[in-house]
Structure 1
Amino acid sequence: MPDDAATVPLPTLPAGYRARRLVLADAAAVTAVVAAQDVADTGEVMVEEADVVGDWQRPSFDLATSAVGVETVPDDAASNSGTGSGAGSGAGSATAQQPGVLVAVAEVHRDRAEVAVHPDHRDRGLGTALDHWVLALARARGERSVGSPVLEGSAGDRLLADLGWAVRWHSWVLALPEGVDVPERPLPAGYTARAAAPEEHRACWTLNEDAFLEWSDRPRDGYEDWAALTVERPGFEPWQLRVVVDEAGEVVALALVQMMTTEQGGRERTEAYVARLATRADQRGRGLAQALLVDVFAEGRRRGASLCTLSTDSRTGALGLYEKVGMRVTSSWVNRAAALD
């Protein structure tokens, strides 16, 4: 039985770095590290602070024990201690220390890990040290394996491959090119697409979890965890959760779109990202998902989005569906995992 409260010591790091626990106030700095890694690997920013805060505010995630940051040791702090970061690299809070610059982060939630190292600090052993910490924490919590999504062929992918992490599945980010629309597919008679009402949020959660657990081997997320990533995520607006309801008013399909504005090539770009798309099992084959895609992309463009994106993975079998409606793969990812038996 997994023990989500188990803890392990902070990682031992190379000289010049120290590890510390993260706090909510670190969200912006963590976002900056992940964004720098994104740009180095993909050429674009794929994260915003709301993603980090949403993950951290899940009731099932204990930030104090499930995440770690790596920061540089200021020169004067190292000279005063006379030890660099070697013996002190496992120090807990940096509250009583002169703060350094956050350059790497790692977190573990159940059997999933996220690790990011700023590209200016790669090839210094930080990724390997954080990998060892991830494995130790997941093992202490009773997980059978732990996995992480990495861009295929990236520095992170190569590191995990060298460390023996095997590919569990593939995933892809797809975009609808500017000027291209998803082919219209009218809803069948009796169905309506609209924004979800607050009283429908729990029905959306149930439908979402039922659909995803058909192919995802994980525990069922509680409503509060789901809400933290969706309707309680920073920046959420009611129009972003779209549903299809039948004649009886029951939610039979849903889509969640998240808006993100980043600077790309010296200019701002707003992206509408479909984070959730699901249809109730007994309602499939009627074009509801395609109709919702048309709806959410139109709503996103109405609010300034020039790019419409989503992601899918090989467990769903949906890649061909998205390609048929005009979407194109922009990046390919792998989920690599290490067995902990």
Structure 2
Amino acid sequence: MPAISLPADLTTRPLRPSDTYAVWEVIAAQEKHDIGSVEIEEADLVAEWQRPSYDLAGSSIAVLDDDRIVAYAELMGGDRYDAAVLPSHRGRGIGTWLAAWIRDLARSRGSQVVGMPVPEGSDGDRLLTELGYFVRWTSWVLRLPQGATIEERPLPEGYALREATEADHEQAWHVIEDAFLEWSDREKSTFEDFAAEVWQRPGFEPWHLQVVTGPDGRIAGASFSTIAEEGRETYVAKIAVHREHRNRGLAQSLLVAAFGTGREHGAVSSCLSTDSRTGALSLYEKVGMVPDSVWVHRATNL
């Protein structure tokens, strides 16, 4: 891939924890331009950046026009990165430069492949296609139409659904992470990193983390949801059922509970995301959810 330099009037520096709002503005502007809505929340950045294992300064770069952040990139893990460029600053080679910067950083850390999600057909999708990136998987943001509900499914005998307590945190971590690792090729998040993104996330309330317990009293399934301040939407960020307790309707019960509790707290819509690795798209469509946007995870071998 040809070398490229940033325009001479732009400068760079590592990101700082105090940059969350400025970076949120860049991502929000990009999402609004690309898909017509804003999915990101500043709290998402705060939660990710406060993970104890994450070296923000060593894994990120901000591109500045004077003192304003107009683009950024960060290597979130061994093979996953995020990046965004303000629509007003596109067409100047910034995205191409950031992609090269990420490739060099990932390669220096021993990664064999690196990629990021982009809206299908967006400027970012076209850029990465031109750079030779391939699609590793496809993901969808699905929404429950306003006013619609998911039909409740009674829990099997011996099962119970409730808000998680602090005593449930470790079990919830194991259930969710172990389930995700059945299809996700990555290391298991530490308990401390999981905590930073769940109950230590800004605005966390007890109802955001709900669990289903089995006949033995142990956690059989769990869901973590948030509620956006803008648009008042419930977003189910994580939902999982232990493999020994599947095919009993537990996931549907957790969804009903998350969306229903969100409505009680002012949400007027509900959404979640899934990708082709999970095979769950048809399950969510069967309960009435509708794909709202399509994303592709484009990657390149290093």
TM-score by length of 1: 0.86
Residue aligned with 1:261, SS: coil
**Aligned runs of 1:1-341 on 2, under 5 Å?**
12-73=5-66, 100-109=67-76, 110-262=78-230, 269-340=231-302
**Larger mean Cα displacement after TM superposition, 11-20 or 325-334:** 11-20
Distance in 2 of aligned mates of 1:126 and 1:307: 35
Cα deviation 1:15-56 (Å, max 9, x = unaligned): 221111111111110000000001001111111110011111
Identity across matched positions, percent: 52
Per-residue CA shift, 1:180-238, capped at 9, x if unaligned? Answer: 10111011111111100101101000011110111111111111111111111111111
Structure 2: which amino acid aligns with 1:219?
E
Q: In structure 2, how many angstroms separate the alpha carbons of the residues matched to 1:197 and 1:118?
A: 41
- Please say which structure displays the higher CA radius of gyration: 1
Take 2:17 and 2:279, find their aligned partners in 1: how far apart are those partners?
37
State the 1:12 CA deviation. Answer: 4.5
Q: Distance in 2 between matches of 1:61 and 1:145?
A: 19
SS in 2 for 1:123: coil
Distance in 1 (CA, whole Å) between partners of 2:128 and 2:193 is: 28
The aligned residue for residue 81 of structure 1 is none
Distance in structure 2 (CA, Å) of the matches to 1:70 and 1:12: 12
- SS of the residue aligned with 1:335? strand
Amino acid at match of 2:159: Y
Alpha-carbon shift at residue 247 of structure 1 (Å): 2.4
Task: Give the whole-Å Cα distance in 2 for the aligned partners of 1:234 and 1:136.
Answer: 33
Q: Aligned-residue CA RMSD in angstroms? A: 0.9
Q: Where in structure 1 are there 5+ consecutive unaligned residues? A: 1-10, 74-99, 263-268
SS at match of 1:276: strand
Normalization by structure 2: what TM-score? Answer: 0.97
Partners of 2:275 and 2:185 in 1: how far apart? Answer: 14
Flag structure 2 segments of 5+ consecutive residues without an equivalent: none
Size of the aligned set, in residue pairs, is: 298
1:277 & 1:284 partners in 2: Cα distance?
Answer: 12
